[in-house]
Structure 1
Amino acid sequence: MQKRLIALAILAASVSVSSQADIIGATAGAYMWKQSWEGDVKAGSQSIDMNDDLGYDDETGKSFYVALEHPVPVLPNIRLQHTSLDISETSQLSRTFTFDGDTYTNADSVNSTTDLSHTDGTLYYEILDNWVNLDVGLTVRMFDGEVRLAATGRDSSIDIDAPIPMAYVNARFELPLTGLYASGLGNVIAYGDNKVTDMTLALGYELGVLGLEIGYRNFDVQLEDDNEETNVTVDGYFIGLVLDI
């Protein structure tokens, strides 16, 4: 009798684990992003053009994420993503301007860095789950960056480190029997003179638990704080791998 109870307990546990495995899922991905930078920044009365003044052009960044979906209906799922988004350049100035109280003059050699790297924490609900998958939720984006200029005897910067709440939408469209899919992800917020829009479009091919994606990402940020302004657009194509368990 005791052996039979033990056998039944093991069977029940196996069924429970198998059932949970069917409804608990994890997705992880990573990609390389070829970034094109443009825009301007200001810490004072004059705007500084990232291309004409600072010599910015292209850069390569990385992004990786992990998402966990669980079977509890009232609790949101969770997604974490980190994006490396920074560029550095040395340029010879052709005009004079001020930045954060320092004056940079014509013919100065200026070392500059703009860092918009950020980490997203997202809580979301799965609204549709068939050949169309739709998730909606809320993202809190934590910037840990700055804009810094340095020349002989001068070193000035503005910090970009505020948390920003954003609406989150993620849709995926399966092409049945092919392994192909298309997806789109958006994080958006606008308040006053501040606006952040981050859109990603991708095409992917999935074989088993592993997928390959190619896509395009456009990140646009407009932030204003007193006499400090950041108006930057970073966009470009990416290629990455996805693991769906």
Structure 2
Amino acid sequence: MKKVAAVILAPAMLLSSAVQADTLLGVYAGGQIWDTENTGSFGSGAGNQSFGFADEKQQSFYIALEHPVPLLPNIKIRENELSTQGFVTLSEDFVYNGEGYSAGTSLASAIDLSHTDVTLYYEIFDNDLLSFDIGVTGKKVDGLLAVRDAQSENSLKSDGWIPTGYAQLRVGIPATPLTVYGLANAISIDDSSVRDIEAGIEYRLVENLAVDLNLQLGYRDITIELDDLDGIYSDLQFKGPYLGLEVHF
């Protein structure tokens, strides 16, 4: 948020373009350790099955580049780990990916929805008290949802891009080294939706002309509701607190 520039909006392009940013290229890089509570169910069309998913520690890393070139969006790339395992003893028959499992079967599950976010965004406001970004994100997912009984594993995979809207708001607290912030990626199409929302508070550990170093404490919630995406149905939620560190050159 250490910028020298002002924001110039073209009236006819209010939501799609803005002139902004650093006098030189601004680089943001950071990482987070996320302690997730994981719940929900998934299936392949014949009814979802709930599992007792284990809580996990996930990781996320990102880098963002901001520049002063008018109309050209800034870019942020973020790697997100998103996986868990579960177990259930079936109370009724369950069919997954064409294979049937009878009531009383002990069934393990494995989920890996780790993905890469590629975000293109514009800075609508950018100063020490208020910063607001808006753009679009493409989530590149190489997904795996699998179940395993005593004999074999049965898995479904999904490989593709999920487009979402993107917004981030940051508000500095005057006369303190603190900033509160929130950001969201979200889309809803027919009966499927993906929501990735986080909010937190940031403490400026170091702030000078050369580098800023910020400590982050926040809460993130990812909900994935799929209705026949490559044959996958799901109602999954990953949520919990995280601790992060960000550096700005």
Residue correspondences, number: 222
Task: Give the conservation status (yes or no) of the 8 Å contact 2:22–2:68.
Answer: no
Task: Give the conservation status (yes or no) of the 8 Å contact 1:102–1:154.
Answer: no
Task: Give the conservation status (yes or no) of the 8 Å contact 1:81–1:121.
Answer: yes
Q: Which of 155, 158, 161 is the aligned partner of 2:159?
A: 161
User: What do residues 4-56 of structure 1 show as CA deviations (whole Å, max 9, x unaligned)?
Assistant: xxxxxxxxxxxxxxxx974321111111111111111111312201xxxx321
Structure 1: gaps spanning 5 or more residues: 1-19
Q: Which of 145, 168, 171 is the aligned partner of 1:170?
A: 168
In the aligned structure 2, how far is the partner of 1:160 from the partner of 1:233? 18
Question: How far off its partner does 1:210 sit?
Answer: 1.0
Q: Which of 223, 233, 238 is the aligned partner of 1:234?
A: 238
Residue 48 of structure 1 corresponds to 49
Question: How far off its partner does 1:232 sit?
Answer: 0.9
Residue 4 of structure 1 corresponds to none
Does residue 85 in structure 1 map to residue 82 in structure 2? yes
Residue 199 of structure 2 corresponds to 201
Q: Which of 144, 147, 166 is the aligned partner of 1:146?
A: 144
Question: How far off its partner does 1:153 sit?
Answer: 3.0
Residue 213 of structure 2 corresponds to 210
Aligned-partner residue type, residue 242 of structure 2: F
In the aligned structure 1, how far is the partner of 2:117 from the partner of 2:42? 23
In the aligned structure 1, how far is the partner of 2:87 from the partner of 2:221? 25
Aligned-partner residue type, residue 215 of structure 1: G
Question: How far off its partner does 1:59 sit?
Answer: 1.2
Aligned-partner residue type, residue 150 of structure 1: R
Equivalent pairs: percent with the same residue?
35
User: What do residues 107-126 of structure 1 show as CA deviations (whole Å, max 9, x unaligned)?
Assistant: 43323101111110011111
Deviates more, 1:192-201 or 1:152-161: 152-161
Question: How far off its partner does 1:207 sit?
Answer: 2.3
Question: How far off its partner does 1:229 sit?
Answer: 0.7
Residue 190 of structure 2 corresponds to 192
> Tell me, what secondary structure is at the counterpart of 1:45?
coil
In the aligned structure 1, how far is the partner of 2:169 from the partner of 2:199? 10
User: What do residues 100-154 of structure 1 show as CA deviations (whole Å, max 9, x unaligned)?
Assistant: 1112234433231011111100111111011101111110011111110111333
Q: CA RMSD in A?
A: 1.8
Question: How far off its partner does 1:201 sit?
Answer: 0.1
> Tell me, what secondary structure is at the counterpart of 1:217?
strand
Q: Which aligned runs of 4 or more in structure 1 are off by greater than 4 angstroms?
A: none
Normalising by structure 2, we get a TM-score of: 0.83
Task: Give the conservation status (yes or no) of the 8 Å contact 2:48–2:234.
Answer: no
In the aligned structure 1, how far is the partner of 2:89 from the partner of 2:126? 54
Does residue 96 in structure 1 map to residue 93 in structure 2? yes
1 or 2, which has the higher helix percentage? 1
Structure 2: gaps spanning 5 or more residues: 1-20, 207-211
Task: Give the conservation status (yes or no) of the 8 Å contact 1:116–1:160.
Answer: no
Larger radius of gyration: 1
Deviates more, 1:108-117 or 1:90-99: 90-99
> Tell me, what secondary structure is at the counterpart of 1:64?
strand
